[in-house]
Structure 1
Protein backbone atom coordinates (compact mmCIF):
# COMPACT_ATOMS: atom_id res chain seq x y z
CA UNK A 1 0.00 0.00 0.00
CA UNK A 2 2.87 2.37 0.86
CA UNK A 3 4.39 1.78 -2.58
CA UNK A 4 1.12 2.72 -4.30
CA UNK A 5 1.00 6.00 -2.35
CA UNK A 6 4.61 6.78 -3.27
CA UNK A 7 4.06 5.92 -6.92
CA UNK A 8 0.87 8.00 -7.06
CA UNK A 9 2.63 10.94 -5.39
CA UNK A 10 5.56 10.60 -7.79
CA UNK A 11 3.31 10.49 -10.87
CA UNK A 12 1.28 13.43 -9.58
CA UNK A 13 4.44 15.47 -8.97
CA UNK A 14 5.74 14.56 -12.42
CA UNK A 15 2.49 15.67 -14.09
CA UNK A 16 2.46 18.98 -12.17
CA UNK A 17 6.12 19.59 -13.09
CA UNK A 18 5.46 18.91 -16.77
CA UNK A 19 2.35 21.09 -16.79
CA UNK A 20 4.26 23.93 -15.09
CA UNK A 21 6.99 23.70 -17.73
CA UNK A 22 4.47 23.86 -20.58
CA UNK A 23 2.69 26.84 -19.02
CA UNK A 24 6.01 28.64 -18.45
CA UNK A 25 7.04 28.06 -22.06
CA UNK A 26 3.69 29.35 -23.33
CA UNK A 27 3.96 32.41 -21.12
CA UNK A 28 7.49 33.08 -22.35
CA UNK A 29 6.31 32.78 -25.95
CA UNK A 30 3.41 35.14 -25.30
CA UNK A 31 5.77 37.69 -23.81
CA UNK A 32 7.83 37.68 -26.97
CA UNK A 33 4.84 38.43 -29.18
CA UNK A 34 3.74 41.53 -27.25
CA UNK A 35 5.70 44.36 -28.82
CA UNK A 36 5.73 47.75 -27.23
CA UNK A 37 6.86 49.63 -30.32
CA UNK A 38 4.42 50.98 -32.87
CA UNK A 39 4.76 49.54 -36.35
CA UNK A 40 3.39 50.48 -39.73
CA UNK A 41 1.19 48.17 -41.76
CA UNK A 42 3.76 46.90 -44.27
CA UNK A 43 5.12 50.41 -44.68
CA UNK A 44 1.70 52.08 -44.70
CA UNK A 45 -0.35 53.74 -42.01
CA UNK A 46 -3.19 51.79 -40.41
CA UNK A 47 -6.75 52.40 -41.54
CA UNK A 48 -9.01 53.99 -38.93
CA UNK A 49 -12.72 54.32 -38.30
CA UNK A 50 -14.71 57.47 -37.54
CA UNK A 51 -14.84 56.81 -33.81
CA UNK A 52 -11.03 56.70 -33.64
CA UNK A 53 -10.85 60.10 -35.32
CA UNK A 54 -13.47 61.51 -32.93
CA UNK A 55 -11.78 60.05 -29.84
CA UNK A 56 -8.26 61.13 -30.74
CA UNK A 57 -9.46 64.60 -31.76
CA UNK A 58 -11.24 64.90 -28.41
CA UNK A 59 -8.07 63.93 -26.55
CA UNK A 60 -6.06 66.45 -28.56
CA UNK A 61 -8.61 69.23 -28.03
CA UNK A 62 -8.63 68.59 -24.27
CA UNK A 63 -4.85 69.03 -24.16
CA UNK A 64 -4.88 72.01 -26.53
CA UNK A 65 -7.35 74.11 -24.55
CA UNK A 66 -5.33 73.64 -21.36
CA UNK A 67 -1.82 73.72 -22.77
CA UNK A 68 -1.00 77.39 -22.25
CA UNK A 69 -1.94 77.30 -18.55
CA UNK A 70 0.00 74.04 -18.10
CA UNK A 71 3.02 75.42 -19.93
CA UNK A 72 3.00 78.58 -17.82
CA UNK A 73 2.64 76.62 -14.55
CA UNK A 74 -0.79 78.14 -13.97
CA UNK A 75 -2.64 74.82 -13.76
CA UNK A 76 -3.80 73.82 -10.28
CA UNK A 77 -3.83 70.33 -8.77
CA UNK A 78 -7.63 70.36 -9.05
CA UNK A 79 -7.43 71.28 -12.73
CA UNK A 80 -4.98 68.43 -13.35
CA UNK A 81 -7.42 66.00 -11.72
CA UNK A 82 -10.28 67.35 -13.82
CA UNK A 83 -8.13 67.03 -16.94
CA UNK A 84 -7.30 63.41 -16.07
CA UNK A 85 -11.00 62.68 -15.64
CA UNK A 86 -11.87 64.21 -19.02
CA UNK A 87 -9.04 62.36 -20.74
CA UNK A 88 -10.25 59.10 -19.19
CA UNK A 89 -13.74 59.79 -20.54
CA UNK A 90 -12.31 60.17 -24.05
CA UNK A 91 -10.25 56.99 -23.65
CA UNK A 92 -13.37 55.11 -22.53
CA UNK A 93 -15.16 56.37 -25.64
CA UNK A 94 -12.35 54.97 -27.77
CA UNK A 95 -12.35 51.59 -26.06
CA UNK A 96 -16.12 51.33 -26.33
CA UNK A 97 -16.61 52.52 -29.91
CA UNK A 98 -13.48 51.96 -31.97
CA UNK A 99 -13.72 48.92 -34.23
CA UNK A 100 -10.46 48.32 -36.07
CA UNK A 101 -9.16 45.16 -37.63
CA UNK A 102 -7.16 43.15 -35.07
CA UNK A 103 -3.63 44.16 -36.12
CA UNK A 104 -4.53 47.85 -36.29
CA UNK A 105 -6.32 47.53 -32.95
CA UNK A 106 -3.19 46.03 -31.38
CA UNK A 107 -1.16 49.01 -32.59
CA UNK A 108 -3.80 51.40 -31.30
CA UNK A 109 -3.63 49.78 -27.87
CA UNK A 110 0.12 50.46 -27.73
CA UNK A 111 -0.57 54.13 -28.44
CA UNK A 112 -3.47 54.31 -25.98
CA UNK A 113 -1.37 52.62 -23.29
CA UNK A 114 1.12 55.48 -23.59
CA UNK A 115 -1.69 58.00 -23.25
CA UNK A 116 -3.03 56.09 -20.24
CA UNK A 117 0.44 56.23 -18.65
CA UNK A 118 0.37 60.00 -19.10
CA UNK A 119 -3.08 60.20 -17.52
CA UNK A 120 -1.91 58.09 -14.57
CA UNK A 121 1.06 60.42 -14.08
CA UNK A 122 -1.29 63.41 -14.13
CA UNK A 123 -3.39 61.73 -11.43
CA UNK A 124 -0.38 60.89 -9.28
CA UNK A 125 0.57 64.46 -8.31
CA UNK A 126 4.15 63.56 -9.22
CA UNK A 127 5.33 65.78 -12.08
CA UNK A 128 1.90 66.11 -13.64
CA UNK A 129 3.31 68.27 -16.41
CA UNK A 130 5.41 65.31 -17.59
CA UNK A 131 2.20 63.28 -17.89
CA UNK A 132 0.89 65.90 -20.30
CA UNK A 133 4.17 65.71 -22.24
CA UNK A 134 3.72 61.92 -22.62
CA UNK A 135 0.22 62.47 -24.00
CA UNK A 136 1.45 65.14 -26.42
CA UNK A 137 4.16 62.79 -27.69
CA UNK A 138 1.53 60.09 -28.28
CA UNK A 139 -0.72 62.55 -30.10
CA UNK A 140 2.23 63.44 -32.33
CA UNK A 141 2.85 59.75 -33.08
CA UNK A 142 -0.78 59.07 -33.96
CA UNK A 143 -0.73 60.50 -37.54
CA UNK A 144 2.59 58.79 -38.22
CA UNK A 145 1.03 55.34 -37.73
CA UNK A 146 -2.67 55.88 -38.46
CA UNK A 147 -4.26 57.18 -41.66
CA UNK A 148 -6.46 60.02 -40.42
CA UNK A 149 -6.93 62.40 -43.34
CA UNK A 150 -8.89 64.84 -41.14
CA UNK A 151 -6.25 65.01 -38.40
CA UNK A 152 -4.93 68.44 -37.53
CA UNK A 153 -1.69 68.56 -35.59
CA UNK A 154 -1.66 69.75 -32.03
CA UNK A 155 -1.19 73.51 -31.83
CA UNK A 156 1.36 74.50 -29.23
Structure 2
Protein backbone atom coordinates (compact mmCIF):
# COMPACT_ATOMS: atom_id res chain seq x y z
CA UNK A 1 0.00 0.00 0.00
CA UNK A 2 1.40 3.40 -0.96
CA UNK A 3 2.01 6.22 1.51
CA UNK A 4 -0.80 8.21 -0.10
CA UNK A 5 -3.26 5.33 0.33
CA UNK A 6 -2.20 4.89 3.96
CA UNK A 7 -2.63 8.60 4.58
CA UNK A 8 -6.06 8.57 2.93
CA UNK A 9 -7.16 5.67 5.12
CA UNK A 10 -5.79 7.37 8.22
CA UNK A 11 -7.62 10.60 7.39
CA UNK A 12 -10.84 8.70 6.73
CA UNK A 13 -10.57 6.92 10.09
CA UNK A 14 -9.84 10.25 11.79
CA UNK A 15 -12.86 11.82 10.14
CA UNK A 16 -15.14 8.96 11.13
CA UNK A 17 -13.82 9.02 14.69
CA UNK A 18 -14.37 12.76 14.91
CA UNK A 19 -17.86 12.26 13.55
CA UNK A 20 -18.70 9.55 16.07
CA UNK A 21 -17.47 11.63 18.99
CA UNK A 22 -19.28 14.72 17.76
CA UNK A 23 -22.42 12.67 17.10
CA UNK A 24 -22.44 11.40 20.67
CA UNK A 25 -22.27 14.93 22.02
CA UNK A 26 -24.92 16.20 19.58
CA UNK A 27 -27.25 13.26 20.25
CA UNK A 28 -26.99 13.75 24.01
CA UNK A 29 -27.79 17.44 23.69
CA UNK A 30 -30.62 16.81 21.25
CA UNK A 31 -32.16 14.05 23.37
CA UNK A 32 -32.09 16.01 26.61
CA UNK A 33 -32.80 19.44 25.10
CA UNK A 34 -30.58 21.01 27.73
CA UNK A 35 -28.33 23.91 26.89
CA UNK A 36 -25.26 24.27 29.03
CA UNK A 37 -23.83 27.63 28.00
CA UNK A 38 -20.58 27.07 29.88
CA UNK A 39 -19.95 23.84 27.97
CA UNK A 40 -20.87 25.48 24.66
CA UNK A 41 -18.45 28.32 25.31
CA UNK A 42 -15.65 25.83 25.97
CA UNK A 43 -16.03 24.24 22.54
CA UNK A 44 -14.46 25.71 19.42
CA UNK A 45 -16.71 28.03 17.46
CA UNK A 46 -16.65 29.13 13.87
CA UNK A 47 -15.22 32.57 13.30
CA UNK A 48 -14.19 34.74 10.41
CA UNK A 49 -10.59 35.44 9.48
CA UNK A 50 -10.20 38.96 10.88
CA UNK A 51 -13.65 39.84 9.56
CA UNK A 52 -13.17 38.11 6.21
CA UNK A 53 -14.23 34.71 4.95
CA UNK A 54 -11.65 31.91 4.94
CA UNK A 55 -10.08 30.88 1.65
CA UNK A 56 -11.51 27.75 0.04
CA UNK A 57 -9.45 25.60 -2.30
CA UNK A 58 -10.77 23.94 -5.45
CA UNK A 59 -11.36 20.51 -3.88
CA UNK A 60 -13.30 22.08 -1.00
CA UNK A 61 -15.45 24.13 -3.37
CA UNK A 62 -16.13 21.07 -5.53
CA UNK A 63 -17.05 18.79 -2.62
CA UNK A 64 -19.27 21.37 -0.92
CA UNK A 65 -21.04 22.08 -4.19
CA UNK A 66 -21.65 18.36 -4.69
CA UNK A 67 -23.00 18.01 -1.12
CA UNK A 68 -25.21 21.04 -1.63
CA UNK A 69 -26.59 19.68 -4.91
CA UNK A 70 -27.26 16.22 -3.45
CA UNK A 71 -29.11 17.70 -0.46
CA UNK A 72 -31.04 20.12 -2.66
CA UNK A 73 -32.17 17.31 -4.99
CA UNK A 74 -33.78 15.53 -2.00
CA UNK A 75 -35.03 18.64 -0.21
CA UNK A 76 -38.70 18.35 -1.17
CA UNK A 77 -38.93 14.72 -0.01
CA UNK A 78 -37.02 15.57 3.18
CA UNK A 79 -39.43 18.41 4.01
CA UNK A 80 -42.47 16.31 3.18
CA UNK A 81 -41.21 13.36 5.25
CA UNK A 82 -41.26 11.17 2.14
CA UNK A 83 -37.59 10.20 1.86
CA UNK A 84 -37.27 6.47 2.58
CA UNK A 85 -34.67 5.03 4.94
CA UNK A 86 -32.84 3.57 1.94
CA UNK A 87 -32.73 6.96 0.22
CA UNK A 88 -31.50 8.65 3.40
CA UNK A 89 -28.73 6.05 3.60
CA UNK A 90 -27.82 6.59 -0.05
CA UNK A 91 -27.80 10.37 0.45
CA UNK A 92 -25.64 9.97 3.56
CA UNK A 93 -23.24 7.82 1.52
CA UNK A 94 -22.93 10.50 -1.17
CA UNK A 95 -22.27 13.19 1.43
CA UNK A 96 -19.75 11.01 3.26
CA UNK A 97 -17.91 10.28 -0.01
CA UNK A 98 -17.61 14.01 -0.66
CA UNK A 99 -16.28 14.59 2.86
CA UNK A 100 -13.67 11.88 2.21
CA UNK A 101 -12.69 13.57 -1.06
CA UNK A 102 -12.52 16.95 0.67
CA UNK A 103 -10.34 15.67 3.52
CA UNK A 104 -7.96 13.71 1.30
CA UNK A 105 -7.46 16.67 -1.08
CA UNK A 106 -7.42 19.52 1.45
CA UNK A 107 -4.79 22.17 0.89
CA UNK A 108 -6.01 24.85 3.29
CA UNK A 109 -3.75 26.75 5.60
CA UNK A 110 -3.94 25.46 9.21
CA UNK A 111 -6.29 28.10 10.64
CA UNK A 112 -8.75 27.74 7.76
CA UNK A 113 -8.48 23.96 8.04
CA UNK A 114 -9.35 24.12 11.75
CA UNK A 115 -12.46 26.15 10.90
CA UNK A 116 -13.38 23.68 8.15
CA UNK A 117 -13.18 20.81 10.63
CA UNK A 118 -15.96 22.45 12.66
CA UNK A 119 -18.18 22.43 9.55
CA UNK A 120 -17.17 18.85 8.72
CA UNK A 121 -18.05 17.75 12.27
CA UNK A 122 -21.59 19.05 11.75
CA UNK A 123 -21.81 17.33 8.36
CA UNK A 124 -20.66 14.01 9.83
CA UNK A 125 -23.14 14.32 12.69
CA UNK A 126 -25.87 14.75 10.12
CA UNK A 127 -24.60 11.82 8.07
CA UNK A 128 -24.70 9.53 11.12
CA UNK A 129 -28.29 10.52 11.83
CA UNK A 130 -29.32 10.14 8.18
CA UNK A 131 -27.88 6.62 8.29
CA UNK A 132 -30.11 5.87 11.27
CA UNK A 133 -27.15 5.32 13.60
CA UNK A 134 -28.13 7.89 16.24
CA UNK A 135 -30.87 6.72 18.58
CA UNK A 136 -33.60 9.23 19.36
CA UNK A 137 -32.57 11.42 16.40
CA UNK A 138 -34.66 11.30 13.24
CA UNK A 139 -33.01 10.85 9.86
CA UNK A 140 -34.73 14.06 8.81
CA UNK A 141 -32.98 15.91 11.65
CA UNK A 142 -29.67 14.62 10.28
CA UNK A 143 -30.49 16.14 6.90
CA UNK A 144 -31.32 19.43 8.61
CA UNK A 145 -27.93 19.27 10.37
CA UNK A 146 -26.11 18.82 7.04
CA UNK A 147 -28.06 21.71 5.48
CA UNK A 148 -27.16 23.87 8.50
CA UNK A 149 -23.50 22.98 8.01
CA UNK A 150 -23.76 24.04 4.37
CA UNK A 151 -25.14 27.40 5.50
CA UNK A 152 -22.20 27.79 7.87
CA UNK A 153 -19.81 26.96 5.05
CA UNK A 154 -21.34 29.70 2.90
CA UNK A 155 -21.11 32.17 5.77
CA UNK A 156 -17.52 31.46 6.78
CA UNK A 157 -15.75 30.38 3.56
CA UNK A 158 -15.04 32.37 0.42
CA UNK A 159 -16.72 30.40 -2.35
CA UNK A 160 -18.27 32.82 -4.85
CA UNK A 161 -20.01 30.01 -6.78
CA UNK A 162 -21.68 28.50 -3.71
CA UNK A 163 -25.43 29.04 -3.52
CA UNK A 164 -27.32 28.43 -0.29
CA UNK A 165 -30.19 25.94 -0.35
CA UNK A 166 -33.54 27.67 -0.51
CA UNK A 167 -36.20 26.19 1.75
Aligned to 2:11: none
Choose from 86, 94, 106 the match for 1:86: 94
- How far 1:36 sits from its partner (Å)? 2.3
Range 70-79 or range 102-111, more displaced = 70-79
- How far 1:41 sits from its partner (Å)? 0.7
Runs of 4+ in 1 over 2 A off after TM superposition: none
Partners of 2:154 and 2:138 lie apart in 1 by 27
Give ranges in structure 1 of 5+ residues lacking alignment: 1-33
- Tell me the C-alpha RMSD between the 2 structures: 1.4
Is 2:82 aligned against 1:71? no
1:84-132 superposed Cα distances (whole Å, 9 cap, x missing partner): 1111111111011121000000000011101100001111264000000
Q: Which has the larger radius of gyration?
A: 1
- How far 1:35 sits from its partner (Å)? 4.3
Aligned to 2:143: 132
Partners of 1:69 and 1:124 lie apart in 2 by 17
- How far 1:149 sits from its partner (Å)? 1.2
* 1:44 aligned counterpart, secondary structure: coil
Partners of 2:165 and 2:106 lie apart in 1 by 21
TM-score (norm 1): 0.75
Aligned to 2:129: 121
TM-score (norm 2): 0.70
Is 2:165 aligned against 1:154? yes
Choose from 42, 45, 50 the match for 2:58: 50
Give ranges in structure 2 of 5+ residues lacking alignment: 1-41
Number of equivalenced pairs: 123
- How far 1:70 sits from its partner (Å)? 1.3
